[in-house]
Structure 1
Amino acid sequence: MKQPPLIVHLTYVLDFGGLETLLVEQINRMPADRYRHAIVCLTRYSDFAKRITRPGVEVIALNKPPGLAPEIHLQLFRLLRRLRPAILHTYNLTAIEYQLTALLAGVPVRVHAEHGRDAGDPDGSNRKHNLLRRLLVPAIDCFVPVSADLRNWLANTVGVPEAKNKLIHNGVDTDAYRPDPTAARPDGWPDWRDCFVIGTVGRIQDVKDHASLIDAFAQLRRLLPDAAPRLRLAIVGEGPLRSRLQRKVSEAGLDDVVLLPGARHDIAAVMRCFDVFALSSIAEGTPVTMLEAMASGLPVVSTAVGGIPDLVQEGRTGLLVPARDPAALAAALAHYASQLQLARQHGAQARLHVDQHHGMNAMVSGYLALYDRLSMTKTTPDKAIEPCAE
């Protein structure tokens, strides 16, 4: 029996994060008789790979060292010739250069997704990076931005033609992420039932600017001195800046009211312990954790960056503030901490919005339709890449 075509997903790392969650969910939910999948990590993968429930998905780490590492191109070339995928799907700037390798290896269909930008180029204006993207446009069959902001940037700044610029919104599992006031407290979680809990989830790195969130929380306690004893902040996630953030919390005398528990596997349960979701990022696409929070019935207080203004309805599902402005962030958080009923109303509207516009099935269907369309135009059922002679 002929096997379905293979899609190779090329990403920098497979670890706990929004992009990785979407990738794994897409693989788990896509019909098994339509496509097979393999994940190639330029650097490494962690226990997060265990979230792949689809049988037969190979996960490969290339262990790329820092820097250019031209030997990785050769390693990937040989791997692609062995695997003979019908489609290569790369993710973000760190993987885009390998589209040329895929072209030389004879991969018929080449897709590149832009899920957001990093702290080094939050507005996407880096000329060197954009030149690289522009030079690779002829080698890429379709760019997939996950927000209207990214789509417009690809069109107007990078120069991706409309025919190659396909917006597919991120999705969330609205069955797993939902309000449940009767749910038990997660294992190891503090007993904060009588507190107002501000929560955030995400990798602890520069682009998330958690330092501003800690500063905003300290200012919030001064803004609402009567409520200060019951205010709490939880920053859930792992990353290179976690120890630095913990020192900042300790130096501010906030150890008793700020929690940094690291990565957790029970995010849906943790979300139900929050009263508001906060995001202090300086750059974003459409953050998955924000979708998860809104599906959980939480109002959002966030910086107005990337695709977030398209997701958060100001004054209806949340409040938006400028990036790197702890005072504005504190004032917005105070708005909900002092009006609990309003927070619940906006949380209910957030759940309704995600349920109607950002379901996981719609996202998977979007990628499936894209793969089908490109495969029909660039491959035939009997076409395969001939392996290299050894």
Structure 2
Amino acid sequence: MTETTPAPALARDGRDTRPLVAHIVYRLDVGGLENILIELVRNLPRDAFRHVIICIADYTDFSARLPEGVEIYALHKRPGIGPGMFLRLWRLLYQLRPDIVHSSNLAALECQPTVTLAGVPARVHAEHGWDMADLDGSNPKYRRLRQWLSPWVHRHVTVSAHLADYLTTTAGIPRTRVQHIVNGVDTRRFRPHDHTQRSPDAPLVIGTVGRLSPVKDQATLVAAFAGLRERLPEHFPRLRLVLLGDGPEAARLREQVAALGIEEQTWMPGNRTDMPEQLRAMDLFVLPSLAEGIPVTVLEAMASGLPVVASRVGGLPELVEDGRTGTLLEPGDPDALCSTLADYVRDPGRLQLEGARARERAESTFGLGRMVTAYAELYRSLLPAARRPRHPSAGGA
């Protein structure tokens, strides 16, 4: 007698056998975490999972990047504690009946008790980086908050080993409930430009991408770039500085650029939708942040064949191989950064060599497929056996 495998049970909402994953973020806008969320929803196998996005505050037109059919909800939380938001969240979860909730970063972690009360059987929380008020994880308030909220989470995910160590050693979360899943990058979309035929007199572009905020410290890069005027007077006229992104520091950075007299060589266009093309137009990528997790912008720069100069903070040493794919520096030191930039300007061969190595590292270690597979396996492991997708595809078809 031949045994037959029973059909998978319907998901909790009764609409499909594919489990529904509800992703909770504070706000869906341009950013690294948000890029990872979009890529995850786009590339997790569509024959295995469904998705819905819940924003604690609101969302922007960045949401247009979501695949067709993925619903998005905003709870419109105002600044402050806002207990009414948790009631709205409970009602929404009761209506949607997701099988999995995946929250991201500290503001969304506060939703996990409500998620539990709504009866969601599988609960994941991901840490993507540090808050400006807690650059090194020493803030006791945030540590206690994570400790108190952790029992409502089945699995904590960190994008860097640095964050995983913080959760287990400082926040005291058991290692069995902490999983390190590194961010991934689409190496087909982000690819190098051929610079081998460029003229030696062509502009050399030093660029960065990120939210213009204090924690990203673009001011140090602006000061370092301006310092090249005296350090490399013969090269300086052909140098260009590109700051891609928008945020609360935009006006102050423009004032700094004007005060230093580098307006003609600096481009600050705000947020861009053509990021692969913008990165291919650069020669050197710089990330002078004061704190980081595993920044997506660095992965995109590496995939684009750019050497990366970055601060030696957070998860950045896990990405940049110092002296091989770029250079690591102590944060907040414009003189040291200026000296490093000058070394690259003087040595075009180094730009090409380290850029090629960065591309190889992006392809071998930080491919998007690895990240997607890891999350698919995590989701399946947390679901009751009867509701697990049988054989998810390798990607979102």
Deviation at 1:3, TM superposition (A): 3.8
CA distance in 2, matches of 1:267, 1:234: 12
Residues 249 and 258 in structure 1, CA contact (< 8 A), matched pair in contact too: yes
The answer for the alignment partner of 1:284 in structure 2 is: 292
2:57 partner SS: coil
Whether 1:102 and 2:115 are equivalent positions in the alignment is: yes
Equivalent position SS for 2:383: helix
Aligned partners of 1:116 and 1:222: how far apart in 2?
36
Offset at 1:335? 1.4
DSSP-derived class of the 1:2 partner: coil
Q: Distance in 1 between matches of 2:22 and 2:33?
A: 16
Q: CA RMSD in A?
A: 1.6
CA distance in 1, matches of 2:21, 2:306: 35
Distance 2:33 2:189 in 1: 18
CA gap of 1:317–1:125, structure 2 versus 1, over 3 A, is same
* Distance in 2 (alpha carbons) for counterparts of 1:213 and 1:120: 22
Distance 1:212 1:198 in 2: 13
Alignment partner for residue 7 of structure 1, among 21, 33, 52?
A: 21
Contact 1:145-1:166 at 8 Å conserved across structures: yes
The amino acid across from 1:232 in the alignment is R
Name segments (4+ residues, structure 1) moved above 3 Å: none
**Secondary structure, in 3 states, of the residue corresponding to 1:256?**
helix
Find the residue that maps to 2:95 and give its secondary structure: helix
Q: Alpha-carbon deviation of 1:262? A: 0.4
The answer to whether the 8 Å contact 2:26/2:57 transfers is: yes
Residues of 1 paired with 2:58 and 2:136: CA distance? Answer: 28
Aligned to 1:137: 150
Counterpart of 2:116, as a letter, is: L
Partner amino acid for 2:19?
A: P
- Structure 1 residue 380: deviation in Å? 5.0
Per the alignment, residue 351 of structure 2 pairs with 343
User: Does 1:29 find its partner at 2:43?
Assistant: yes
Aligned counterpart in structure 1 of residue 186 of structure 2, from 149, 159, 173: 173
Partner in structure 1 of residue 260 of structure 2: 252
Partner of 1:327: 335
Give the match's secondary structure for 1:199.
Answer: strand
Match 1:47 to one of 61, 67, 82: 61
Distance 1:341 1:215 in 2: 25
Measure how far apart 1:334 and its partner are: 1.2
Q: Distance in 1 between matches of 2:360 and 2:387?
A: 42
Match of 2:232 among 224, 228, 237: 224
Which whole-Å deviations, capped at 9, do the CAs of 1:210-269 have from their partners, x for residues lacking one?
111111111122211111111111000111211221111112111101111100000000
Q: How many residues align?
A: 371
| Partner in structure 2 of residue 267 of structure 1 | 275
> Counterparts of 2:387 and 2:367 in 1: how far apart (Å)?
32
Query: Which residue does 2:245 correspond to in 1?
Result: 237
Shift of 1:136: 1.4
**Under a length normalisation based on structure 1, what TM-score does the superposition of the two structures give?**
0.92
Q: Which amino acid in 2 is paired with 1:32?
A: R
Mark the runs of 5 or more structure 1 residues left unpaired by the alignment. 183-191, 382-390
Query: 1:221 touches 1:231 (CA, 8 Å); kept in 2?
Result: no
Is residue 61 of structure 1 aligned with residue 74 of structure 2? Answer: yes
Give the whole-Å Cα distance in 2 for the aligned partners of 1:376 and 1:219: 59
| AA of the residue aligned to 2:63 | A
**Helix, strand or coil: the match of 2:103?**
strand
Cα distance in 1 for partners of 2:17, 2:252 equals 49
Asked whether the equivalents of residues 17 and 387 of structure 2 are also in contact (C-alpha less than 8 Å), the reply is no
Normalising by structure 2, we get a TM-score of 0.91
Distance in structure 2 (CA, Å) of the matches to 1:147 and 1:279: 17
Structure 2: runs of 5 or more not aligned: 1-14, 389-397
Q: Indicate the residue corresponding to 1:18 in structure 2.
A: 32
Q: Contact conserved, 2:242 with 2:266, CA < 8 A, in 1?
A: yes
Contact 2:290 2:313 in 1 (8 A): yes
**1 CA distance for matches of 2:326 and 2:290?**
18
- Matched-pair contact (CA < 8 Å) for 2:21–2:49: yes
Q: Which is bigger in relative contact order (C-alpha 8 A, separation at least 6)?
A: 2
Q: 3-state DSSP class of the match of 2:69?
A: coil
Deviation at 1:181, TM superposition (A): 2.5
Q: Are 1:8 and 1:37, in contact at CA under 8 Å, matched by a contact in 2? A: yes
Distance 1:326 1:35 in 2: 47
**Contact (CA 8 Å) 1:43, 1:65: kept in 2 or not?**
yes
Deviation of 1:329 (Å): 1.1
Give the partner amino acid of 1:81.
Y
Structure 2 SS opposite 1:122: coil
1:118, CA displacement in angstroms? 2.0
Q: How do 1:146-185 residues align onto structure 2 when only pairs under 5 Å count?
A: 146-181=159-194
Q: Which moved more, 1:240-249 or 1:265-274?
A: 240-249
Corresponding residue number in structure 1 for 2:136: 123
Q: Deviations over 1:283-313 (max 9, x none)?
A: 1011001000000000010111100011100
Deviates more, 1:368-377 or 1:102-111: 368-377
Equivalent residue runs for 1:352-363 within 5 Å: 352-363=360-371
* Alpha-carbon contact 2:241-2:267 (below 8 Å) kept: yes
Identical-residue share of aligned pairs (%): 47
CA shift for structure 1 position 193: 7.9
